[in-house]
Chains A and B, each alone.
Chain A
Amino acid sequence: MTMNDDYLWDPKATPDPDVAHLERMLGRLRSTAPAPPVVANDERRTTNHERRTTNHEPRTSNDRRAYLGARFLAPALAVAAAIVLMVGSTWQGVAPGPSWAVSTVIGAPRVGASALIGDGRIAVGQTLTTDASSRAKIEVSDIGQVTVDESTRVRLVESRDGRHQLALERGTLHAIIAAPPGQFVVSTPSATATDLGCIYSLHVNDDGSGLLSVEAGWVAFEERGRESFVPAGASSPTDRVNGPGTPRYDDSEQSFRDALDEVDGSKGSDPARRAAALRFVLEHARGRDAMTLWHLIPRVNRVDRTIVVAALDARVPMPASISRDAVQQLDRAALDQWWDELGLNEASWWRMWKGKAPATR
C-alpha cells in the first residue's frame, strides 16, 4: 500500500494533500440530522411511505412464512391492532413522538420524501416540502396555523408544552398564532423569529436572506445578539452576513427603505455610501418612523449614534427622566423608557418574553 493509501485507510496517518482537500470540501455535506423520535413501547411508528414499501427489507425464510401468514390474517390483525392502540393509548398513557396535522391546500406537497395526499402528519425532525405548484397548511399544535406557500421547505424542529419550533430553509410561510409570547419560533438561515402573539409572513431566499412582514401583533427577530422588535405593518429584512435589518413600516417610501438597507450593510460596506444613507434616513423619517430610529441606536457606532439620538429626539422627545449619556451608553432602562414614549406597547411587555435588551452592533 502506498503512503497515499495509508491515509485513505487511516485518517490518523500522514495526510495525502488531495485526499485531505477532498475531505475538507466534502466534509461539509456530513449528516446533521438528529435521531428520529421513537415511541416508548411496542407500538412502533411508521411513516406513510414505509407502509407502502414494506417489501424492500431483507427477509429470511422464516420471515417469509410469517409474512405469508400475516397477509391472510391482515384484516383481522388490523382490527385487533386498532383496538390495542385505542386501549393502550388510554390505559398506558403512552403517546407517539410529537407531530402536527398537515393538509394539502393545492398540488402535491411532500412530508419527508413521501407525497402528502390530503391530510397527514409531520413529526419532529421531518420536513414539509412544496414545489412550484403546491401549498400546504400545518396545525401548530393547538396554538395556531401555518400556511406554507409554493417552493418552500420547512422542518418541524421541536414541539412540547410552551415551545414549538419550525425551521424555514427556503420559501414562504404565513403564521397565525394565538399563544403567549415566545411559544412559537421559526428559525431561518439568517435570523430567528419569535412570535409575540400575532399574524406574520416570513420569506427565505435560496441564499439564506429573507424578509419578515408582520400583519398583526409583534414578532421578535434575532440573530447573534442583533434584535428587532417588529410591530404590525412593519417588516425586517435579514441576510446571512448582517442578520436582522432595522425594522421599517411598509408604508414608508421605497427610497427610505433602500437607504435603511444601505445602513444595515446589506448592500455592501462602503462607508461613504453608508454615511449618506444614514443622513437620508434621518432627514426623511416621519413621526411614526421613530420606531425605526429607536432600533438604529444600538446598530450604529458611537459617533453616528449622536445624530440618530438627536433625530429621534426631534420626533419623540427624550423623557426628562433619562440622560443622553445613558442612551449613548445603550443603558437598557433608559432605552426602554424612551421606547415607552413612542406610543407602542410598553417595553416591559415585550421584554417579558426574553428579558434582554437590544444588543449593540
Chain B
Amino acid sequence: MQHVLELGRTLPAGDLLTIPARTAALGATIRAVAAGDEEAFARLYRDYVRMVHAILLGRIPRRDVDDLVQEVFLTAYTRIRELRDPAAFGGWIATIARNRATDYLRHAREVLELPDELAGGDPIETETFAVLEIVRALPEAYRDTLLMRLVEGMSGAEIADQSGLTPASVRVNLHRGMKLLRERLGLETAAGNGPTRVDPYER
C-alpha cells in the first residue's frame, strides 16, 4: 500500500512513515479529493481498490463486482466531505461497499434472478469459482480478510492499515479463516497435518 505524503508524491506505508504521518498524508489526499483533485482521487482509488474489490467479491456475482467498485468510489467521491476523520476513511469506504452489496442483493432478489458465475467451461476457472464459493461461505470477518490476502495479494499489515482493524484482529482472522478454508477444501487431511492442530489464538 502507498500513502500520499505530499500531493503528487507517494511513499510506501510501514516503517518509513509513522501512523500520525500516514494519517496526515491521507488527510491531505482526502482534502484534495474534496477540492476536486482528480489525481488525488485516482491515488485514493489505487490505494483502496483492492480492499473494496475483495469486500464486494465476497458478496456479489463477480461479473458485477467491477461495476460496483466504481459505484462505491463514486459514492465516496460524492460524499467525502462528510468524512470528519481521515483516519476513518478505510472503515468508511468499507462500510459503503458492504451496504452497496447488501442493496445490490436486495435489489437482485426483488427484480432479477441472481446471476451465476460464468466459468466458461474452463476447468481452471471452474475450480477457481468453486473455491471462491467456499470462501464466500466463511464467516464475514474471515471471508473479507482472506479475500484481501488471497485475491488481492495484500499483506496482513496492509489489511490492518486499510480496514481499520487492529493487526491482532487481522492475524486472528487470517489464521482462523485459513484453518476453516483448509478444512473445507480437505487440505488438512491431504497434508497430513490433521484438523487437531492447536489454535494459538484460542482463548
Contact = CB atoms under 8 A, between A and B. Distances in A.
Contact of A18 (B75, B96, B156, B191): B191
Given A57-B82, A60-B84, A50 B74 contact: yes
B71 A49 contact: yes
Given A42-B36, A46-B78, A50-B78, A36 B70 contact: yes
B171 A29 contact: no
Interface residues of B, number: 71
A265 interface: no
A8 B174 contact: yes
A244 B90 CA distance: 45
B100 A112 contact: no
Contact of A36 (B73, B122, B174): B73
A18 to B, nearest CB: 5
B62 interface: yes
B10 interface: no
A33 B150 contact: no
Contacts of A36: 45, 70-71, 73-74, 77
Given A9-B155, A22-B131, A207 B36 contact: no
A51 B14 CA distance: 38
Given A5-B175, A23-B153, A45-B74, A31 B66 contact: yes
A50 B71 contact: yes
B156 A10 contact: yes
Interface string A109-144: 010111100000000011101010000000000000
Interface string B124-163: 1101100110010000000000010111110111000000
Contacts of A11: 153, 155
A163 B175 CA distance: 49
From A56, A113, A125, name the one whose CB has the most chain B CB atoms within 10 angstroms: A113
A9 B169 CA distance: 12
Contacts of A10: 155-157
Contact of B73 (A30, A35, A42, A113): A35
B24 interface: no
Contacts of B22: none
Main secondary structure of the interface of B (DSSP, over half): helix
A100 B152 CA distance: 32
From A8, A30, A39, name the one whose CB has the most chain B CB atoms within 10 angstroms: A8
A100 B194 CA distance: 57
A22 B113 CA distance: 30
A33 B66 contact: yes
A30 B53 contact: yes
Contacts of A125: 70
Interface in B99-136: 99-100, 102-104, 107, 111-113, 118, 120-122, 124-125, 127-128, 131-132, 135
B31 interface: no
Given A10-B155, A19-B150, A40-B38, A31 B50 contact: yes
A63 B92 CA distance: 14
A108 B149 contact: no
Contacts of A33: 49, 53, 66-67, 69-70
A325 to B, nearest CB: 44
Interface of A: 1-2, 4-5, 8-12, 18-19, 22-23, 25-33, 35-36, 38-42, 44-47, 49-50, 53, 56-60, 62-63, 108, 110, 112-115, 125-127, 129, 131, 153, 169-170, 206-208
Interface of B: 36, 38, 41-42, 45-46, 49-50, 53, 57, 60, 62-71, 73-75, 77-79, 82, 84, 92, 95-96, 99-100, 102-104, 107, 111-113, 118, 120-122, 124-125, 127-128, 131-132, 135, 147, 149-153, 155-157, 170-171, 174-175, 178, 181-182, 187, 191, 200
6 contacts: A1-B171, A26-B150, A42-B36, A53-B100, A56-B100, A129-B63
